[in-house]
Structure 1
Amino acid sequence: MNYIKAFIQSESSGGIMLLFAAILGVITANSPLAEQYFSLMHVYWGPMDILEWVNDGLMALFFLYVGLAIKSEMISGELNTNSKRVLPVLAAFAGVVTPALVYFLIAGSLPEYTHGWGIPTATDIAFAIGVIMMLGKRVSQAMKAFLSALAVIDDLIAIIVIAIFYGAGVDFSYLIGAAIVTGALWYTNKQGYVRPVLYVVLGAVLWYFVLKSGVHATIAGVVLAMTIPATGKIDGETVYPMHKWTDKLKNWVNFLIIPLFSFLNAGVSFADVSAD
């Protein structure tokens, strides 16, 4: 029992769960259960199938969790000054531009492939942060903050790239709705409101608007994270909503969201691959 408790509390548990789930996904995708595995992803629950609920729904909570961690570092950690924030921003831009440039240099002369330059620009943030988590205390807090911020910013840039250059189906009326809800969240924060109910309701509405807009819904998690107050008062007592949200989300992210995302997305079938 003590070993289980120690594993749950360890910094590397989330990364280990992610790696285990990824391996399990690959094995399942190439086993006699492959047909059921791929069919399961496309079972519909309401308006979306299971894979969409995980990638657009649960991963929004993952982005919320990571966003809260980055905000904490920006307030009182390794990203608490503008000079410290510049490096991950520049690295993220380089992480978008460089793979796109490499792609264009290789495939740019072929008209049918030229438009694919946006494909390699995004970092798989779940796996990137999972690797960081696996290393635990072997990685300094400064490096964790830098890499987490880099991965999130890289993903946000990639989402913007997709919306601008590939988003023929972007619905700007929903984007305007998302902007209005974001303003409401910002106003709620500035008014010193710290109880979670209003943030949860507005966050859910924001997620819906972003999802319907055609932009990747996970960006709603980051936006919500930036509006959760760090401190406040309830009945004269000082509370720390941001840290409370992080604590509540931690085990859900490490032991449900990340493993489920990894299991469903890492399952690559090699059925059509031969020695030739």
Structure 2
Amino acid sequence: MSTSPNPPRRRLLARGSWPEARVVGDILRTETVGGMVLVVAAALALLYANSPWRETYFDLARFTVGPSALHLDLSLATWAADGLLAIFFFVVGLELKREFVAGDLRDPRTALLPVVAAVGGMIAPALIYVAINASRPETLVGWAIPTATDIAFAVAVLAVIGTSLPSALRMFLLTLAVVDDLLAITVIAVFYTDELSLPALLGALVPLALFGLAVQRGVRSWWLLLPLGAVTWFLVHESGVHATVAGVLLGFTVPVLGRHTVHGVSMAEHFEHRWRPVSTGVAVPIFAFFAAGVSVVDAGGLAETLADSVTLGIIAGLVLGKAIGVLGSTWLVQRFTRAQLSDEVSWWDLLGIAQLAGIGFTVSLLVGELAFGAGTPQDDHVKVGVLVGSLTAALLATVLLRFRNAHYRRIAEIETRDTDRDGIPDVYQEDGRPDDG
């Protein structure tokens, strides 16, 4: 009696579909430009904050504008953190919904790896930070600072080093970062809300529902949607929950599927194309300009700052914690699902991606301000820790990924070859590919 052959093992990090690869490519091209602007904004902030004119930088950050009657007389730095970053999280909400509703991640088997890797990539840095700060209970509030990933900064690093990552790795990095951002905003809402006004929070559901009803019916008129979004943001801000949560909630209401389209694309894709350049090119760089400026002299000297447990916890969390969390989670998924890595991907590639995930700039700085308060000595140590940790992770990722760049170029040539010139690379039209996953 003949026995049936063993079924092929499922492949992790296999090449996805062409539509998804195309969307991810478009997103990463936009993020590359935004990442460059982000790096320039952070560098300007550091130079300005350590120049002879540094007092004018901090005076500008503290300059207050807005109606006091509505409790919106906020500093420019607060407007950047609470207001502009809401745009960033709106795009995150759109992107995450598209991935899980219409993207390759609608398949739970495909979604499992980046989601578990994102969770592991948050748990391990938090545990390392807590271990280093265990003897200082007053600093434990900063446990979530090294848990975030800044996709714009990470993609900027990829652009600078000139590596050609395979589409599967690019998709994994992008998805991990997006899930990471969603988890981060959840942590902010749950753990960094001091006082909660339930009437204001419930009141925010009304304009949120009206916004959702409008976009579900295909309405895209700015004069209607912007006021509804602004009122939602205001009421969430008044509730005590960080106002950026409103951005994610608004993004979740926009339909990914349905009969209403704009020039042949879904409402979510239309809004994403409109708002991603604003997020990456304006909102995030302005926030970085106000958040990244730290005066080394005022912080007590670089050597003393680097020796502080808050700084050390953040650096270790970003550099070691992210690598341990992402790699360990991937190994666990492989172990318990009995899957195996795609032939085009090695554990060295994953280590490089894990180090890129240790670039935790934007959201890490935001969590640091929420944890310790803007302008405090601990906040200055947070900024130094985030900057040093992110730069160290970027340098390690550069070494690892450049080492494999010849391999990546061979894969990129395969993934871009289009012999029939129909606009779709040949590899995405082949039947029976071993990496269909």
Q: Give the TM-score of the pair, scaled to structure 2.
A: 0.53
Name the residue aligned to 2:301.
273
CA positional deviation for 1:55:
1.0
Amino acid in the other structure paired with 1:273 = G
Q: 1:160 to 1:35 in 2, by over 3 A?
A: same
Work out which of the residue numbers 280, 283, 308 in structure 2 matches 1:257.
283
Matches within 5 A, 1:123-202: 123=148, 125=149, 127-135=150-158, 138-190=164-216, 192-197=217-222, 198-202=224-228
Query: Hey, what's the Cα distance between the residues in 1 that align with 2:215 and 2:29?
Result: 32
Output the amino acid matched with 2:158. Answer: L
What are the equivalent positions in structure 2 for 1:190-269 lying under 5 Å apart? 190=216, 192-197=217-222, 198-230=224-256, 232-233=259-260, 240-269=266-295
Counterpart of 1:17, as a letter, is: V
Q: 1:265 to 1:138 in 2, by over 3 A?
A: farther
Q: 1 CA distance for matches of 2:92 and 2:185? A: 17
Structure 1 residue 244 displacement after superposition: 2.4
Deviates most, 128-137 or 264-273: 128-137
Q: Structure 2 CA distance, aligned partners of 1:142 and 1:253?
A: 25
Distance 1:223 1:39 in 2: 33
Residue 70 in structure 1 maps to residue 93 in structure 2:
no
Q: What's the offset of the Cα at 1:40?
A: 0.3
SS of 1:168's partner is coil
How much does 1:17 deviate?
A: 1.1
Q: Report the equivalent of 1:4.
A: none
Q: How far 1:188 moved relative to its partner?
A: 4.2
| Identical-pair percentage | 35
| Aligned mates of 1:177, 1:139 — CA distance in 2 | 46
- Unpaired runs of 5+ in structure 2? 1-27, 67-72, 305-437
TM-aligned CA distance change 1:180 to 1:129, over 3 Å? same
1:121 to 1:213, Cα distance in 2 relative to 1, 3 A: farther
Q: Distance in 1 between matches of 2:266 and 2:283?
A: 24
Q: What one-letter code is carried by the residue in structure 2 that aligns with 1:194?
A: V
C-alpha spacing 1:237/1:268, structure 2 compared with 1 (3 Å):
closer
Structure 1: how far apart are the matches of 2:219 and 2:168?
29
Question: Could you say which residue in structure 2 is the equivalent of 1:5?
Answer: none
Task: Report Cα offsets for 1:211-237 as digits up to 9, x if no partner.
Answer: 112222112112211212235448x98
Instruction: State the alpha-carbon separation in 2 of the partners of residues 117 and 35 from structure 1.
Output: 27
Q: 1:100 aligns with which of 126, 131, 154?
A: 126
Contact kept in structure 2, 1:78 and 1:142, CA below 8 Å: no
Cα distance, 1:189 vs. partner?
4.8
Aligned equivalents of 1:63, 1:239: Cα separation in 2: 21
Change (3 A) 1:28 1:111: closer
For the structure 1 residues 78 and 24, does the alpha-carbon distance in structure 2 shift closer, same or farther, using more than 3 Å as the test?
farther
What do the CA deviations read for 1:95-148 (whole angstroms, capped 9, x no partner)? 3322222223233244444x425343541x5x3333225525834554444434
Call closer, same or farther: CA 1:92–1:181 in 2, change over 3 Å: farther
Distance 2:170 2:249 in 1: 21
Give the C-alpha shift of residue 61 in structure 1.
Answer: 0.8
The answer to whether the 8 A contact 1:122-1:155 is kept is: no
Q: Is the 8 A contact 1:232 1:241 kept in 2?
A: no
Matches within 5 A, 1:47-62: 47-62=73-88
Alpha-carbon spacing, 1:181–1:121, altered in 2? closer, same or farther (3 Å): farther
The separation in 1 between residues aligned to 2:41 and 2:109, in whole angstroms, is 38
- How large is the Cα RMSD of the aligned pairs? 3.1
2-structure distance, mates of 1:274, 1:246: 40
AA matched with 1:20: V
Cα 1:58–1:237, aligned 2, differ >3 Å: closer, same or farther? closer
CA spacing shift, 1:164–1:241, aligned 2, 3 Å: closer
In 2, Cα distance between equivalents of 1:249 and 1:54: 16
| TM-score where L is the length of structure 1 | 0.80
Counterpart for residue 145 of structure 2: 120
Question: CA–CA distance in 2 between the matches of 1:196 and 1:84?
Answer: 36
Alpha carbons of structure 1 residues 112 and 207: separation in structure 2 relative to 1, 3 Å: closer
